[in-house]
Amino acid sequence: MEEITDENPIFRLLDLIPNGIIVIRSDYSICFWNACMVEWTDIPADEAKGTNLIERYPALKNPIIYSRISQIFEGGPAVLFSSTFHPHLIPCEFPNGGLRVEKISCIPFYQSTGKYALVLIEDMSDLTNQIKAYRTMKAVAEDQRDDLQKAQDAIYLANKALRETTEYLNNLFDYANAPIITWDSGFHITRFNHAFEHLTGRNQEEMLGKTLDLLFPDETRNASMRLIRKAIEGERWEVVEIPILVKNGSVRTVLWNSANILDPEGRILSTIAQGVDITDRKYAEQELKESEERFRISIEKAPEAILLFDINQNRYIEANSRAEQIFGCSRQQLLDSGPQQFYKPDQPDERSITETVNEHRLRVQAGETVVFERNICNNRGEDLVMEVRLVQLQSADRRLIRSSFIDITERKLLEQEMVYHEQELRQFSAALETSNKKLTLLSGITRHDINNQLTVLMGFLEILEMMQPDTSFRDYFNKITNAAERIQAMIQFTKTYEGIGVNAPVWQNTRTLVDSAAKDVAMGDIRLVNDMPGDFTIFADQLIVKVFFNLMDNAVRYGGNITTIRFSVEKPDGDCFIVCSDDGAGVSISEKEKIFERGFGKNTGLGLFLSREILAITGITIKETGEPGKGARFEMTVPKGMHR
């Protein structure tokens, strides 16, 4: 359809109404200016049409008035401006110069060409003129029945459009995302939408006709009803916070705005209110407030000095009490000048303060945590060394840098003292190493000389035994020979014991250790079972192979009728056990600990003692746990971290 024009029968009819009629588009441009308006304003219709109503009448620019008219084009209801509060929104003068007292109604209607608003201006100054004009209109209408029929047809179409619009508005009301409620002048609920049902947990059917006070919690009911009464008295809510009681007993906080629906005489028929549930936002705001308070307390109670720098403001905005103590000045002095005022010229990084401050801020803004040391002299004249840590804090609206200062003066002094003692230790170690080398050399020479003399002694003993045919001396010769061999074994023990702990422990494969040690043992018919995993290693002294040798050698020498020697590993959580077991005579209960003592045993009495010492280098322990008569069982406990 084309744009509405004066030729439309309904508009020709509106030309006869004794009230001002203006039709405007959604951009407030005038598309109809009836004869009454021409009479009241002396503005011809052709001149008025196409101009902007708001620009022509500035009083309509008032934000509240403007918004109420605008809501018509957004699907809102009709709007009425009473003659009591707004008598001259569109000034129309009497011929004598006085202004008419007006009641203005803005009514939405729709055409296929768009949305329109009909502005009805009623002159409340003189009802007699209205009655006379009405009679004139009636007479003219009777003479123009055909036009009236056309007008009725137009009205029918308008009503149809109105019904469609009403249906649309009802759907808009019912399915709006925001909770909406209406009530009458007696505070009885007349309607609310699905969003309001969701908000309160109540069905519309169970609440229609009931009073509004049921919707409010006890502690805020009176205050809420006072706000409701003010709305009924004509006050319009722009934003007001009213708690709503949910059916399950919980309370939701809702922001409301309201508008009164008036009859043509300006009387309030009902009030409509639309809300926004801000409960979650309130909780979030409270949580943010509590979080900020916790953050403030954590800074204030922190053991280190803390300052907050606002990058946007380019200044320090917070300092805790520890900062006042360390720098020996007031909080305000720190905020005004920053900690740089206390930095000494000589710094550990040997760079200028200005250069490093800017560089550090850029690195922190890039997401890096910057840690460095600073030499300071506080207000008390104390020279301190500080460890400074810069971290960017996350904030929605600000860029903050947290600077923490930890006094490490004592630590630095201790480090210097440790360096001094470390130098001393190195000197002592060098001297000790020299002494050990000399002792090792001396003991090696001594062992060599003793072994040479023992060889000579045993040789002469053998010659003397051959030259003495008397067999009664043979027992003495055997005892002397055994004593010499025992001395020779002890000399060999000193050489082995001297090597314990000399070289650093290494990771060693246990299966390989068992196989290597077995090569030096005269096993005879005894079967060796090596159940050690091929990839199982332990961290131990490099002489540990002698431990495996001693265990097998002792089993062969003293185990009795042995047929099998077995090596295996058990791995419970944490520590693990390396087990050497046999099927021989075993060890008596009284000797289970004694066998590890130096000198105990039938040979040198040094083998198991030496084994325990070698294992102890890396914290490995050994004990005998076998059952006497059923075989020996040696368990070596390897601590966690010493096996893999």
Please choose, from the candidates 50, 57, 55, the residue with its C-alpha nearest in 3D space to the C-alpha of residue 32.
Answer: 50
Tokens 């588009």 belong to residue: 25
Q: State the pLDDT confidence band at 494, using cuts at 50, 70 and 90.
A: low
Q: Is residue 79 part of a domain?
A: yes
In the DSSP assignment, the letter for residue 505 is P
Phi and psi, residue 395, nearest 5°: -150, 145
Predicted confidence (pLDDT) per residue in 120-170, tens digit:
999 887 654 555 556 666 666 666 667 767 767 888 887 888 788 878 878
Residues 35 and 158 in one domain: yes
- Could you tell me which residues are beta bridge partners of residue 582? 565
The 10 Å CB-count burial string (b at 16+, else e) for 7-21 is eebbbbbbbbbbbbb
Residues 153 and 231 in one domain: no
Q: Per-residue pLDDT averaged across 253-279, rounded? A: 85
How are strands ordered across the β-sheet holding 102-111? Answer: 30-33, 20-25, 114-123, 102-111, 79-81
Alpha-helical (H) ranges within 507-598 are 510-518, 544-558
C-beta neighbour count of 387 within 10 angstroms: 16
- Look up the CATH number of the domain holding residue 83: 3.30.450.20
Residues 271 and 300 in one domain: no
Residues 18 and 138 in one domain: yes
Q: What would the DSSP string read from start to end of 354-370?
A: HHHHHHHHHHHHTT--E
Answer with the one of 114, 137, 172 that is the final residue of a domain. 172
Average pLDDT, the chain: 84
| pLDDT exceeds 50 at position 2 | no
| pLDDT exceeds 60 at position 546 | yes
Pairing of strands 564-570, 527-530: parallel
CA distance 515 to 524: 15
Question: Can you tell me whether residue 424 is helix, strand or coil?
Answer: helix
Please choose, from the candidates 209, 221, 33, 244, the residue with its C-alpha nearest in 3D space to the C-alpha of residue 121.
Answer: 33
Residues 192 and 158 in one domain: no
Answer with the one of 442, 471, 498 that is the final residue of a domain. 498
Q: Is residue 1 part of a domain?
A: no
| pLDDT exceeds 90 at position 52 | yes
In the DSSP assignment, the letter for residue 22 is E
Report, in angstroms and rounded to the nearest whole number, the Rg of the chain calculated over CA atoms.
Answer: 53
Q: Is residue 361 part of a domain?
A: yes
Share of the chain above pLDDT 90, in %: 35
Residues 486 and 584 in one domain: no
Q: Per-residue pLDDT averaged across 577-595, rounded? A: 91
| pLDDT exceeds 70 at position 274 | yes
Question: Can you tell me whether residue 390 is helix, strand or coil?
Answer: strand
Q: What is the pLDDT, as a whole number, of residue 152?
A: 77
Q: What is the pLDDT, as a whole number, of residue 128?
A: 46
How are strands ordered across the β-sheet holding 564-570? Answer: 527-530, 564-570, 576-582, 633-638, 621-624
Q: Is residue 223 part of a domain?
A: yes
Domain count for the chain, please give it.
5
| pLDDT exceeds 70 at position 502 | no
Quote the domain boundaries for residue 438: 413-498
Whats the size of the chain, residue-wise?
A: 644
CA distance 481 to 459: 10
Please choose, from the candidates 271, 214, 265, the residue with its C-alpha nearest in 3D space to the C-alpha of residue 237.
Answer: 271
Phi and psi, residue 599, nearest 5°: 95, -10
Answer with the one of 336, 369, 402 that is the final residue of a domain. 402
CA distance 361 to 363: 5
| pLDDT exceeds 80 at position 190 | yes
Helical pair 544-558 and 510-518, crossing angle rounded to 10 deg? 50
Residues 165 and 113 in one domain: yes
Residues 335 and 190 in one domain: no
Q: What is the pLDDT, as a whole number, of residue 240?
A: 86
Q: How far is CA 210 from CA 188, 213, 225, 451, in A?
A: 5, 9, 14, 119
Question: Can you tell me whether residue 461 is helix, strand or coil?
Answer: helix
Tokens 């409509």 belong to residue: 272
Q: Is residue 282 part of a domain?
A: no
Predicted confidence (pLDDT) per residue in 285-331, tens digit:
887 777 777 777 878 888 899 999 888 888 898 999 999 999 999 99
Q: Per-residue pLDDT averaged across 361-376, rounded? A: 91
pLDDT top residue among 232 and 241: 241
Q: Is residue 2 part of a domain?
A: no
Q: What is the pLDDT, as a whole number, of residue 157?
A: 85
pLDDT top residue among 314 and 471: 314
Q: What are the tokens at 241?
A: 């916070």
| pLDDT exceeds 60 at position 439 | no
Q: Per-residue pLDDT averaged across 464-469, rounded? A: 72
Residues 168 and 188 in one domain: no
Q: What is the pLDDT, as a whole number, of residue 462?
A: 75
CA distance 372 to 363: 13
Q: Is residue 407 part of a domain?
A: no
C-beta neighbour count of 620 within 10 angstroms: 23
Phi and psi, residue 608, nearest 5°: -70, -30
Q: With contact defined as beta carbons under 8 Å apart, do 357 and 340 qualify?
A: yes
Q: With contact defined as beta carbons under 8 Å apart, do 121 and 86 qualify?
A: no
Residues 430 and 450 in one domain: yes
Predicted confidence (pLDDT) per residue in 31-49, tens digit:
999 999 999 999 999 999 9
CA distance 111 to 3: 9
Residues 188 and 260 in one domain: yes
Burial of 90 (0-12, 13-18, 19+ CB in 10 A): buried
Q: Is residue 408 part of a domain?
A: no
CA distance 258 to 272: 6
Residues 268 and 122 in one domain: no
- Look up the CATH number of the domain holding residue 613: 3.30.565.10
Identify the H or E element spanning 474.
Answer: helix 474-498
Predicted confidence (pLDDT) per residue in 204-229, tens digit:
888 888 998 889 999 999 988 888 88
